[in-house]
Every structure is written in structure tokens, then in C-alpha cells.
Amino acid sequence: MLGFFLISRRRGCGAGHLPMTDSYPLPVARIGIIGGGQLARMMVKAAKRLGCTCVVLDPTPASPAGQVAGHQIVGGYHDADKLRELAAVADVLTYDLEAIGTETLFELAREGAVIHPSPQVLATIQDKLVQKQFLEAHGIPTADFVEADAITPETFAAFGYPLVQKARRGGYDGRGVAVMRDAEAFARNLPVPSLLERFVPAAKEIAVLVARGTDGDCRCYPLAEMWFRGEENVLDLLLAPADIDPAIAQTAEDIALRTVRALGGVGVFGVEMFVTADGEVLVNEVAPRTHNSGHHTIEACVTDQFEQHIRAVLGLPLGSTEQLRPAAMINLLGAPGYKGRGTINGMAAALAIPGVCLHLYGKASTSPFRKMGHVTVLDKDLQSARAKAERVRDLIEIIGEEKL
Ligand SMILES: Nc1ncnc2c1ncn2[C@@H]1O[C@H](COP(=O)(O)OP(=O)(O)O)[C@@H](O)[C@H]1O
Ligand SMILES: [Mg+2]
């Protein structure tokens, strides 16, 4: 079956974006997913809808995605043997996080494995310094930066405050980012290889989800507006479509498309951006995967980001990104001060509100600000969706059994 699959994939797309061989032995494909978190969990659900089977690689047994896939290899994302084990049982490999050993992925690709987005794209993005250099080299507007060759008060002061220190690798959900307004904040420095970035006083943070198919076809979702928790820099509230000037929205969309075309990968990409008070659009970072800013697409768009990603990596035509209703989304974060097995309070009260769609990720334990689930609210207009989402945020609490 693998042979057939690769041949039909290699034939790629003919006229009108349709594969030349429109015939698939069932299951349509065996998809190997590196990373078993919530993004992979939602990807598995979409893949199964399209008649695929999934295998997940994750170090935590019964990971959120492993539970849904029904087939998990327990192992680390840098473990060459486990990555090979996954590749051996999959027709196509993809991932839900950046922190993967790319050396093994490059080897597998050389041996003929189909990996989307490509190891080259992942290698460029997973090191935030290399990513910024890539953006700069391709004329994509982004905040000024330097490599932090030493983590000392002097090097930080020489770059100048306010600044943002970012770990080159391994950061996510604001872990690996330190916003420093002045020299006193140097005490909170991250003792790891880093870059320093100019602090951007953003009026808004937005994200553009872009899907790119194997034939180069690119599609943007309507822009989403992101609001972050001040201290933790983790996404708190998302509104879509974003309430911004149409000319700025067009600029943002153009920049996002240029970015993804320059990278050249296949799949869904999340392009995070700052919009400054005077309307300047700067790329913050790019995620080579489905993205938190697209969770609402499950209920609000014709083709959700997870199905879109599966379509892309299988070389199938991309679906419509049209948004059918305004949507607000909140992340359900673990309550501060607790860890361990979680309890959700306020679930019934939240579900009693019309338009509320609840997603829980099946994580065995909670910790402060850990993403445990999300809620999307659809409504006739953005403001009422937002009001309901904020009510849900007050109603639902996820508490761990151990007090910290
Ligand atoms: N240069 C910057 N200026 C102002 N705020 C920033 C800057 N860089 C990051 N932030 C804030 O920190 C958040 C997380 O940073 P980001 O680089 O996106 O890391 P992560 O990989 O954790 O998402 C951003 O969404 C934004 O709110
Ligand atoms: Mg980010």
C-alpha cells in the first residue's frame, strides 16, 4: 500500500488541482503524527473523518491525541529510533509541535519518507533566531533583533530596553519569552541561548492561518484577533474575524502569504503578527503547524484548519476557508496554585449558554496555565460572542487535586 500511496502522491496534481489518480485504497492514508497534544488530537479527528488512520508519537502514554488515534508509540520527539518506528507504519508524517529532532527527519526524507511541512521548513522555524534571519532575508517586516551572544546586563543594556528576550529553541505558550521593560527586569532573564527583540507596542495582535497545498495553492482564513494574558503571554481570548481596518487586513494577508510562499512548506501555518497604533504590520513568528488561533474554524468555517492540514499533506485539494458565523474562543487554562488530576467546575452552566461549544483535551493532569481545553462561541455578531465567551471564562475553572 505504501508503494501505491507514494506513487499516487508523487504524481501530484494535474489540471484543476485534482490528483491524476483519483483512487485510494482504504484507509485513505496512514498518518504518522509527531506530538500528541491537543492540536494532534483535533487533527486525528479530522483525519478519521476523511477515512485515514493515525499513529501518534508522544512521550506521555495515552496522550490527548493517542487516546483518539487508538495507536500511539511512546517515545520522545528527538528519539531517532522512535521516529523511525513511526515512519515505518505511516504513509505520511506530520507534526503538532516544533521541538523535533530534525536530523532524523532529514535522514528519513532522504530515504523517501513523505514529511509535511518539510524538515527544512521545520529547521528554519524551530530556531527563533534562524527564523528571524529568514524573515529579514526575505524582506518580511519584523521587529529588529540581535543574537544574544551573552546573557549579561551589559549586552541587554547595549541593545536597549524595552526588549523581549526569547529562547532560540523549545519555547511555547509564552514559556521561553521574557518581556523586559527596563534594566531591573534583567533579573528575570532566561539562562539559555537567545535572541533579543525590540519590544513592539502593539495595538493588536493578529494571526493569519494560511494553508498551502502540494501544488502551491495557498488559502488564507479570515484574520483572527488575539488577546494575551499580560504576565504569562498565553493566548486568552480570540475574536474572528478580526475587527481591523480592511486595508490593514489586506496588508496582513499579503505578508502572511508572502511568508508561507517564501518558506515553501505544505500544510497549515499560523502567522502571528503585531499591528501597531499607526497601522504597521510586523510578523512576530510563524508556526509550521495548525495553530491555537484557528480553533474556532472547527465550528465557524466551511473547512476547519485540521481537515485543511490533512487535505494539504495528502495532496488533496484545499477546502473553502469561508467563515460562516462570527466566533470568539477562550482557552481553558489550569487554575494557578494547583496541579495534578483535574476537576472542571462550571461545565453545565457554560453549556447552558446557547452557542457554546466545549472542547476538553483529555490531559491526565493540570498545572497553572496549562491548556486543558477551549470554548468556541458562535453568535450573530462578534460582540455578543465575546460577551458569552467572557462569561464562560468566569464560569469554568479547572483545578488540580494538589495545592502548590
Ligand atoms: N517583540 C515583542 N513585543 C511585544 N510583545 C511581544 C514581543 N514578542 C512576543 N511578545 C508577546 O509574547 C507573546 C509570546 O511570544 P511568542 O514569540 O509568540 O512566543 P510563543 O512561542 O510562546 O508563542 C506574544 O504573543 C506577545 O504577546
Ligand atoms: Mg507565539
- Residue 8: the pLDDT is 43
What is the Å distance from ligand 2's center to 208 Cα? 12
Say if residue 390 is exposed, middle or buried (CB neighbours under 10 Å; 0-12, 13-18, 19+): middle
Instruction: Round to whole Å and give the CA distance between 220 and 59.
Output: 33
Q: ∠ CA 369-239-223 to the nearest 5 degrees? A: 115
Which of 145, 233, 333 has most ligand 1 atoms within 8 Å of its beta carbon, as the pocket-test mutant?
233
Instruction: Round to whole Å and give the CA distance between 194 and 36.
Output: 27
Residues with CB under 5 A from ligand 2 (ion): 272
Q: Which residues line ligand 1 (CB under 6 A)?
A: 143, 164, 166, 171-174, 176-177, 179, 197, 199-200, 205, 228, 233, 272, 284-285
What's the chain's Rg over C-alpha atoms? Answer: 21
What is the Å distance from ligand 2's center to 380 Cα? 29
Q: How many residues does the chain have?
A: 404
What is the Å distance from ligand 2's center to 402 Cα? 29
Task: Tell how strand 30-34 and strand 92-95 pair up.
Answer: parallel
Q: How confident is the model at residue 18 (pLDDT cuts 50, 70, 90)?
A: low
pLDDT over threshold 50, residue 12: no
- Residue 400: the pLDDT is 98
Average pLDDT in the 197-206 region?
Answer: 95
Maximum separation of any 2 CA atoms in the chain, in Å: 63
Work out which ligand 1 atom sits closest to the CA atom of 235.
Answer: 25
**Measuring CA to CA, which residue among 296, 173, 165 is closest to residue 234?**
173
Ligand number nearest to the C-alpha of 238: 1
Work out which ligand 1 atom sits closest to the CA atom of 287.
Answer: 21
3-state secondary structure of 336: coil
Ligand number nearest to the C-alpha of 165: 1
Residue nearest to atom 24 of ligand 1 (CA): 233
- Residue 138: the pLDDT is 98
What is the Å distance from ligand 2's center to 347 Cα? 28
Range with lowest mean pLDDT among 16-25, 112-121, 138-147: 16-25
Q: How confident is the model at residue 17 (pLDDT cuts 50, 70, 90)?
A: low
What is the Å distance from ligand 2's center to 234 Cα? 8
- Residue 172: the pLDDT is 82
Buried b (16+ CB within 10 A) or exposed e, 102-138: bebbbbbbeeebbbbbbbbbbbbbbbbbebbbbbeee
Q: What pLDDT, in 10s, does the model give residues 367-391?
A: 999 999 999 999 999 999 999 999 9
- Residue 177: the pLDDT is 94
Residue nearest to atom 27 of ligand 1 (CA): 233
Q: What pLDDT, in 10s, does the model give residues 220-253?
A: 999 999 998 877 888 999 999 999 999 999 999 9
How is the chain split among helix, strand and coil, in percent rounded to 5? 35, 30, 35
CA 248 to chain centre: 23
Secondary element (H or E) of residue 204: strand 202-212
Average pLDDT in the 294-315 region?
Answer: 98
**Measuring CA to CA, which residue among 238, 241, 263 is closest to residue 252?**
241
Secondary element (H or E) of residue 240: strand 235-240
Range with lowest mean pLDDT among 67-71, 130-134, 169-173, 336-340: 169-173
pLDDT over threshold 80, residue 19: no
Q: Check if the beta carbon of residue 310 is closer than 8 Å to that of residue 31.
A: yes
Residue nearest to atom 1 of ligand 1 (CA): 199
Average pLDDT in the 53-79 region?
Answer: 98
Average pLDDT in the 175-193 region?
Answer: 95
Q: What pLDDT, in 10s, does the model give residues 120-147?
A: 999 999 999 999 999 999 999 999 999 9
Q: What is the mean pLDDT of the chain?
A: 94
